[in-house]
Structure 1
Amino acid sequence: MSGPGGGPLSGPAETGWRRLSPRMLLVHPVQEVVRAAPALLGLLVAGTSSGGKGHLWSAAGVGLTVLFGMLRWFTTTYRISPEQVQVRRGLLNRKVLTVPRDRVRTVDVTSHVLHRVLGLARVEVGTGTSDRRHDSRLKLDALSADEAARLRVELLHRSPAGQFPGTQAPAGQSPTAQSPTAQSPATSPVSPAAETELARMRPGWVRFGPFTMSGLVTVGVIGGFVSRLVSEGNIDLDRVGPVRETWRWFSAMSLALEIATVLLALMVFVGVASTLGYVLAYGNFRLTRHAEGTLHVTRGLLTRRATTIEERRLRGVEIDEPLLLRAVRGARLSAVTTGLRSKEGGQRGGSTLLPPAPRTEAVAVAGLVLSHTPGATGGPSPVTGPDTGPLTSPLTSPLTVPLIPHGPAALRRRFTRAFGVHAPILLALLLLWVLGEPPLWPWLTAAALLPVTALLAADRYRSLGHALTSGYLVTRWGSLVRRRVVLRCDGVIGWTVERSFFQRRAGLATLTATTAAGAQSYQVRDVDLAEALRLAAAGTPGLLDPFLEPAGSASQ
């Protein structure tokens, strides 16, 4: 993917190296200054309070930061050929990142507020390998909005080479005449008639925002920034009037009232921050299918993000139901696809197919997505397991098929593991109280949480289940976040059967389906060993035949 040195790599087509848009000289310096703002502000406050020339040191720091940001334009070039996409960057350590055109899985186009003001966009090419390391991602920041839109079409829709600037145009035809109509990166640059809308953001979905709990991240970021600012600036909070009066009012309360006040304030702040984050991240959300075989997701109010996924790279979908979101019958939908990791970026990054929304809507959209997935039809022949019924039903939807439970042994294992952690803590707190070290209330709190532990264990068992239907492996697990993964069997490249010491004693195993998409491995947890082997054999017929003994051979 990357080559040493700064010279052009040899290839079948030699095209000129191109620079990013000159308007990025107004973007990167601002981004670097904002990123370094806490350190620069601390340098200013520390230098001024100690009698030094803090403003001069801070100005010098700003100048160096701006210079560092401007160097990116002078040291970054790229070129597009019919076979490859190449990016050359670096000043002291020169790197050339090369991606074959046939390895491009996704194209992610992002426009922050400053980008949108200047008509720019950031393009990130997903290949399934180059995006594993942050410093090796093939990223172009920033191109003009028109050029970013044309690049997305060129790389994923396999348009003729002459339709993108930087490739050779056929003789007698100008590149301008071949280029598609320029549009913003947040909208498809192709004809609207070529797209079918699968989902769109609805105002009623905002009610799910407070239950995403994404505002907890905001609390952490603000707390860390304030703590660092106070530490770097040597600020005495006792001298700040509003802070001193608030603390005096809070200290006059009883302990129970103090706890209730903190929890209430935290819930209100997190709820408001989560709702605001939901609106900013998923405002104007739209999921469409392009006639040439791609899914296009656009979202965001201030920061516009457009992600295009090839359907032939799609291996399945994942429906997530966090505990709070599940309580209000909500869920979110993401793609299991090569080139996009399932936990990439904020709020599941570019793999999001539907934001937190009604669960019925998530299931319906998942059905629309899977209905046009290439190679999704058909599947293995029905296989029957003892006391479980048919493992495979070619007429049943994998999104609504009843799941096979994992039996009493898995239930006992859920409770054993839950109380195996809770009971030692409870005994340790009781022993410390008997010895006279801590107060009694920690032990009483731990004892009162025993029913919660039992409910959590029961819910974790109720979430367990699996099925094999219509050529898809379906597995579900989790309690705090319940996940249901629908994975195409032809996307599974291997099976792993793992058994710990305690699983062997219980007759259980964990079956792992390995794939090149999403999290790259999906587990069927704590299933009967015979059931795990039958499931793997039915999911990939013939794969386990060399490792299985024919019936009756052991008795001969």
Structure 2
Amino acid sequence: MSVPALPPSAAPSADPSWQRLSTRMIWVDLVQTVLSAVPAAVAIWVVGAEPGAGQIWPLIGLAVFGVLGAITDALRWTFTRYRVTATHVELKTGVIFRVHRSIQRDRIRSVDTEAKLRHRLGGLRVVKVGAGQQAAEGESAVALDALTAVDAHALRSRLLDPAQALAAAEPSDQPDQPPHEDPAVALDDRTTPLAVLARLQPRWVIHNMMNIWAYALALGVGWGAYWLLGSLGVDVAGFVGGLADWESLGWVATAAIALLAVTVFGVIGLALNFFAEYWNFQLARTRGPEGTLLQTRQGLFTTREVNRDENRIRGVQVSEPLLWRWMGTADTSVITTGLDMWSMSTPATILPRGPVTVAKRVATEVLGTDAPFATALAAHPPAALRRRLWWATTFSLGIALVLTWLALTGVLPYRAIWAAAALWPVSLGAALVAYRALGHAIVGPHLVTRSGLVSRSTTVVQRSAVSTIVIRESLLQRRLGLQSVSVTTAAGYGAYDTPDLDAGTSLAFAVRAAPGVLDPFLAAHPGTEPESVTQAPARR
């Protein structure tokens, strides 16, 4: 097998020496320092010593923050070393507290790359080497911030190809071998996708333009613009006040116009953010160290490449948010070991929010079968609906008691109690929606369970990956003859529930959900058979 040549900073040798990160980072930090000082310099030049000059102190703080960040990066570059041997990837870093991390090369499960705008302008990449850790990012992974794009690409190829590590560690003793093929050709061959599962469709922006974050974005950016323009002497309040006769319009019309303006601004902001985050998105199946990888590439200003080892994928989850279910909107993620599920970068998400038809098609490609999504799920007993109606009524009654107490103490007018009366039918409707979302099935090697009100999630888990079964019942469930079955696996969020099953069939369902897990505990129930699950009427 041919071995492509690597740059000196990325190629392991028989006795590798410690390498530095790219020196370009110093120049990038210098540019960052200058740019962070520009707003403060402009503000000082424009405002000068006028009475409002004190408002520029936040800009000065921004400049100081940028300078300190650049100094910190320079110190990190000075004290950081890494090396790649035939058996390990090692990193030494830290100024006051020295940290030495190492990952065995045969345990590497992912080599991801990321580049913020400042990295891309400097031709740099951040390389993150993971060994399937579930801890928070940075506690176990090795992150090299930053290498040149060529070094990063070559290092990723080297680490994800065990044959190259063997070739690097064992020099050939056959001098008459034919010359190696062109390294660039070999590198392109390994990075060529085996199959492209999805690419960004511009129409998906419709599914991402409206949520609660639209208002947070609009208010945050609006306040920032108001403060910045005010510090430069611009009378924003006077400008807005002169747009219309707000007193004659009244507070209702004024509030409606303000809400409309914030909504439009937030929707536009979310649309722009969607394209910036998912520009050039591609989900593909590529070659990996021990099989294949699910690889996503995306980003306009900050580019990210995340690889997920398909050997470690234990299932998929398709979630449909309640408010946008009428649009057929869904989120798609994989249930896999070795990814931090609580990371803000959501590495388990393999598709942007989009059509549920696309989500199920991609989930089918990942699973290798369409049976889990083509099979009708068994409905849950009517007692499950009664339980939800009971909780909806209790919640509405609790709100009514709180409003009554506030009215009696004079905090709120008595007419506010009617809000609880209006809330009750809404709560009952939500209970019905939550009940209709329930469903479960055993489909070949997979357990399928569906539940959720705010987000109806259909979860497909490999039965062979289930390590623990938990059957539980609350006091109310016991009175209604219900039980919940939870399966635990070393992947994803760890536990996935099938709530409110009939108590008479929950044990048989649990036995089938995890073959062999409950066998040692069934001696007292010799009549329990895995096939004895009573199927309720099917519901799509």
For the criterion TM > 0.5, the same-fold answer is yes
TM-score (normalised: structure 1): 0.79
1:142 aligned counterpart, secondary structure = strand
Distance 2:248 2:140 in 1: 55
Instruction: Tell me if the contact between 2:111 and 2:130 (Cα under 8 Å) persists in the aligned partners.
Output: yes
Write out per-residue CA displacement over residues 36-64 of structure 1, whole angstroms, 9 at most, x where no aligned residue: 99999999999995699999988766544
Query: In structure 2, do the counterparts of structure 1 residues 457 and 179 end up closer, same or farther at CA, with 3 Å as the change threshold?
Result: farther
Q: Is the 8 A contact 1:107 1:125 kept in 2?
A: yes
Q: Which amino acid aligns with 1:264?
A: L
The one of 429, 433, 441 aligned to 1:459: 433
SS in structure 1 at match of 2:493: coil
**Which of residues 99, 102, 105 in structure 2 aligns to 1:98?**
102
Q: In 1, distance between residues paired with 2:180 and 2:26?
A: 30
Gaps of 5+ in 2: 1-12, 529-540
Root-mean-square deviation over aligned CA pairs: 4.0
Identify if the C-alpha distance between structure 1 residues 177 and 32 changes in structure 2 by more than 3 Å, giving closer, same or farther.
farther
Residue 403 of structure 2 aligns with an amino acid whose one-letter code is L
Q: CA deviation at 1:296?
A: 1.5
Displacement after TM superposition at 1:302 (Å): 2.2
2:273 partner letter: G
Letter aligned with residue 102 of structure 1: D
Aligned counterpart, 1:353? 350
Residues 91-490 of structure 1: pairs in structure 2 closer than 5 A: 91-129=95-133, 131-132=135-136, 134=138, 136-161=140-165, 170=172, 180-181=183-184, 189-191=188-190, 195-211=194-210, 214-219=213-218, 221-222=220-221, 241-246=235-240, 250=246, 253-291=249-287, 292-346=291-345, 349-371=346-368, 397-434=371-408, 436-440=410-414, 442-490=416-464
Equivalent position of 2:78 in the other structure: 74
CA distance in 1, matches of 2:56, 2:191: 62
Q: Residues 522 and 297 from structure 1, CA distance in 2 versus in 1: closer, same or farther, beyond 3 angstroms?
A: same
Q: Give, in whole Å, the separation in 1 of the partners of 2:85 and 2:161.
A: 15
Amino acid at match of 1:311: E
Q: Secondary structure at the match of 2:394?
A: helix
Worse-superposed segment, 103-112 or 240-249: 240-249
CA distance in 2, matches of 1:39, 1:499: 61
- 1:216 offset after TM fit, Å? 4.4
Q: Which amino acid aligns with 2:97?
A: N
Aligned AA for 1:271? V
Structure 1: distance between partners of 2:48 and 2:65: 14
Instruction: Write the mapping of 1:6-25 to structure 2, written as runs, cut at 5 A.
Output: 15-25=16-26
User: Unaligned 5+ residue runs, structure 1?
Assistant: 1-11, 373-395
Displacement after TM superposition at 1:70 (Å): 0.9
* Alpha-carbon spacing, 1:297–1:50, altered in 2? closer, same or farther (3 Å): closer
Choose from 510, 516, 535 the match for 1:542: 516
Amino acid at match of 1:345: M
TM-superposed CA distance for 1:332, in Å, is 2.3
Question: What is the Cα deviation at residue 498 of structure 1?
Answer: 2.8
What is aligned with 1:380? none
Is the 1:105–1:313 Cα contact (8 Å) retained in structure 2? Answer: no
Which secondary structure does the structure 2 equivalent of 1:399 belong to?
Answer: helix
Number of residues of Structure 1 aligned to a counterpart in Structure 2: 505
Alpha-carbon spacing, 1:93–1:468, altered in 2? closer, same or farther (3 Å) = same
Q: 1:307-341 CA distances to partner (integer Å, 9 max, x unpaired)?
A: 11111011111112112332211212111111123
Taking structure 2 as the reference length, what is the TM-score of the superposition?
A: 0.81
- Which residue of structure 2 aligns with residue 388 of structure 1? none
| Alpha-carbon distance between aligned partners in 2 of 1:422 and 1:36, rounded to the nearest angstrom | 55
SS in 1 for 2:274: helix
